[in-house]
Structure 1
Amino acid sequence: MKKKVSENKESMQNGGKLSIRSSFWRFPIVWMLVGAIGIVLIDTLFRQQTERVDGVISLALTLVMGLLAILVYKLTLTYLARRSTPEIARQRAGIEAVLGALTGTIFIAGSVFIIVALGGYSFQWASSASVGSVLTSSIGAALAAAIVEELIFRGLMFQAIDRLGGKPLALAVTSLFFGIAHLGNTGATLWSGFAIALQAGVLLGAAFLWRRNLWFAMGLHFSWNAIEELLGIPVSGHSSAGLFTVEVNGATLLTGGDFGLEGSIVPVVISLLISIPMLIGAARKTRE
């Protein structure tokens, strides 16, 4: 009898330890950090390899990196957060990514057009540029940034904060941290960090809420960066070896200066005009 009671006590103690351990890993901040670290490690490892090769091989490595990063994301949420991942479901992934890319293209093309019309940018074809090399490098860099940053910010961080304090807080926190994450870039200022938080953090967060998947946000993010790269405009302070050379004239508030388009007031205004309808649409879906 005493042996049975002892066994029951030991079983209860072991069960309690397992419960505490399970609760620890299921706490949103914990799985957010674990997933983010895993994705960053994969990105760092593959970035070192892609820098050593060029062309199609570099692009292929980027695609493998993206698939592994998505796998880490899925495993983190499935086995630590103990939840499903409809936001990366394969159903409609292609069409959502294309719709996102079209939205990003309209956003960036419209912003650039306005700045050109106001005399801030002028473009000349870079005759020395290798079209194939520029295309593969631009697509690879834009694809890597879109996948990694969206998985971490709109995937892990947004949903972790959402669990703790709701969607408005998640949108505010992820936008703030997205701006902070770009403060170390070349030419960054407090204004550029604030501008990134508004135009990128809010827009991409609104896109995620509206479409309820990461593919749309990834597509938007990808076309945003890729078009800037191809036009030769610095991407958040990172220089671009584009198909054009850009002559910048006028106030930094208009052109973004050395930081590039993201430092301009123009995309900030346009992004908010796009974000507001998205947030309204997301709110309507929530009420349905």
Structure 2
Amino acid sequence: MRLVWQLLAVIAVAFVGGQGIAAVDGKPWLTLVVGLATAVLSVFVYRWVVGRTERRPVTEMAWEGAGPAFGRGTLIGVALFAAVMTNLFASGYYDVDGIGSATGAVGFVGFMAAAAVTEEVMYRGVLFRIVEQWTGTGIALVLTGVLFGASHLLNPHASVLGAAAIAVEAGGMLTAAYIATRNLWVPMGLHFGWNFAAAGIFSTEVSGNGTSEGLLDSTTSGPKLITGGEFGPEGSVYSVLFGVLVTLAFLWLARRRGHLVPRRRADRADAALTLSR
């Protein structure tokens, strides 16, 4: 039942926060406030519900070192998306015409903070963490990554190709970041940095959501396989490539640190019963 209670708690916060952000749509400063409040509430609710249902210190969201860990994740996310856009720019598929909307970028801070934190506590904090205890790291990574990608099919300009790309580059990369660090602050920062760079800085579509203009006045055009089309650069082959490389780096680090959980074997009693037969 802990899975049920934890999911219900974090989904409730995500729903209320989503309704709040929708209510202040078009008002960047209010979006900033509501989004940040949603992110903070998600952290406290996660800590509370996990502590109550599992009766243990919530070490994956410990306060100590939270700021630097979130900051490192954010820097990685921004740098990674900037690498994608640099390749699109060099290929002639991304053009910058000038400065866009600074206030729009401010609103995206709150919007993306809410999205990143609520999704991370749901997918990595609850789903991956508990499924991993049942199946081991590898199977849990694949299952929750596919689920994370499939959830993006509900977005307005979604595509199967885009959802598949999200499953690989984000579902894999964000989960691997959690496995390597065994805390949620790094993947939350990575998720936030990637999303904010996409919408708040480079003014591109984010997972087919039809986001408004951010800091740069820009246009993206070209082959769907390269640019991601209406889904945005997250559906680009460049995003998949960089996402896979970072995923492998995090998994390598996780292996070195001994953070990989092997697949659970049959209970000894069941094994003994099988042998007796």
TM-score interval (norm. to shorter): 0.7 to 0.9
1:49: Cα distance to partner?
A: 4.7
- TM-score, normalisation: structure 2: 0.87
Q: Secondary structure at the match of 2:157?
A: coil
Q: Is 1:78 aligned with 2:51?
A: yes
Q: State, as a whole percentage, how many aligned pairs show the same letter.
A: 32
SS at match of 1:124: strand
Decide which of 64, 67, 71 is 2:37's aligned counterpart: 64
Which residue in the other structure is 1:283 paired with? 255
Larger Rg: 1
**CA spacing shift, 1:91–1:236, aligned 2, 3 Å:** same
Q: Residues 246 and 37 (structure 1 numbering): CA distance in 2 closer, same or farther, change over 3 Å?
A: same
Determine which of 78, 98, 114 is the counterpart of 1:125. 98
Deviation sequence 1:184-241 (CA, Å, 0-9, x none): 2132211111000001000000111111111111111111111111211011112231
Q: By how many angstroms is 1:52 displaced?
A: 7.6
Which of residues 121, 126, 132 is equivalent to 1:162? 132
- Unpaired runs of 5+ residues, structure 2, are 261-277
Measure how far apart 1:120 and its partner are.
Answer: 1.5
- Per the normalisation by structure 1, the TM-score is 0.84
C-alpha contact 1:32 1:157 (8 A) present in aligned 2: no
Does 2:80 align with 1:149? Answer: no
Structure 1: runs of 5 or more not aligned: 1-24
Of 204, 211, 231, 1:259 maps to: 231
Between 1:92-101 and 1:180-189, the stretch displaced more is 180-189
Deviation at 1:53, TM superposition (A): 4.7
Q: Aligned partners of 1:50 and 1:163: how far apart in 2?
A: 40
Q: Deviations 1:234-285 (Å, cap 9, x if unpaired)?
A: 1111223122233333211001111111110111001111110110111221
Q: How big is the shift at 1:58? A: 3.3
Match among 175, 183, 193 for residue 145 of structure 2 = 175
Instruction: Give the paired residue count.
Output: 258
Aligned to 2:269: none
Q: Which amino acid aligns with 1:33?
A: L
* Contact preservation (8 Å) 2:27, 2:107: no
Would you say the 8 A contact 2:104–2:212 is kept in 1? no
User: Which residue of structure 2 lines up, in the alignment, with residue 110 of structure 1?
Assistant: 83
Conserved? CA contact 2:178–2:184, under 8 Å: yes
Distance 1:279 1:95 in 2: 21
Which residue matches 1:31? 5
* Counterpart residue number, 1:233: 204
Distance change in 2, residues 1:52/1:270 (3 Å): closer
CA contact (8 A) 2:13 2:38 kept: no
